[in-house]
C-alpha cells in the first residue's frame, strides 16, 4: 500500500478528530483506525503538532522547509570558501 502524505492542516484536523472520539469513550486504536491512520502516526503527530492551530502548523512546516534550504546554502558556501582558500594558498 502506498504511503499517504498528509499536509500539516490535515494532520491537525485528524488529531482533533481523534481526540474528540477519545473523549467520547473510544479507545485510541479504534479512533485511529476510524481516521485511517496508525496509532504510531497518531502519537508521533501528537508529540509534534499537539496543541497547534492549523495556521501555526502550516507556519511551522514553512519554517522547517526554509531552515533546510538555508542549511544547504550555508554548506555550499562553506565548501566554496574552503576551495577558494585552498586555491589562494596553493594547496590545490
Give the rounded distance of the alpha carbon of 75 from its chain centre.
22
User: What does the pLDDT look like over 6-17, one tens digit per residue?
Assistant: 888 889 899 999
What pLDDT is attached to residue 92? 61
CA distance 55 to 89: 51
Measured between alpha carbons, how far is residue 22 from residues 7, 18, 67, 88, 90 in Å?
A: 22, 6, 35, 65, 68
- 53: Cβ–Cβ under 8 A, 6 or more apart, which residues? 12
Put simply, whether the predicted model's pTM sits higher than 0.75 gets the answer no
What pLDDT is attached to residue 55? 85
What pLDDT is attached to residue 1? 47
Over residues 53-60, mean pLDDT: 85
Residue 41 · residue 33 · CB < 8 Å:
no
What pLDDT is attached to residue 54? 81
Over residues 58-87, mean pLDDT: 93
User: What does the pLDDT look like over 2-55, one tens digit per residue?
Assistant: 567 888 888 989 999 999 999 999 999 999 999 999 999 999 999 988 777 888
Amino acid at each position: 500500500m502506498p504511503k499517504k502524505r498528509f499536509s500539516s492542516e490535515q494532520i491537525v484536523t485528524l488529531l482533533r478528530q481523534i481526540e474528540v472520539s477519545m473523549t467520547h469513550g473510544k479507545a485510541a486504536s479504534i479512533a485511529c483506525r476510524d481516521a485511517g491512520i496508525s496509532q504510531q502516526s497518531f502519537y508521533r503527530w501528537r508529540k509534534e503538532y499537539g496543541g497547534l492551530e492549523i495556521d501555526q502548523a502550516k507556519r511551522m512546516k514553512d519554517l522547517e522547509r526554509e531552515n533546510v534550504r538555508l542549511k544547504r546554502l550555508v554548506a555550499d558556501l562553506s565548501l566554496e570558501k574552503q576551495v577558494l582558500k585552498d586555491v589562494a594558498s596553493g594547496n590545490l
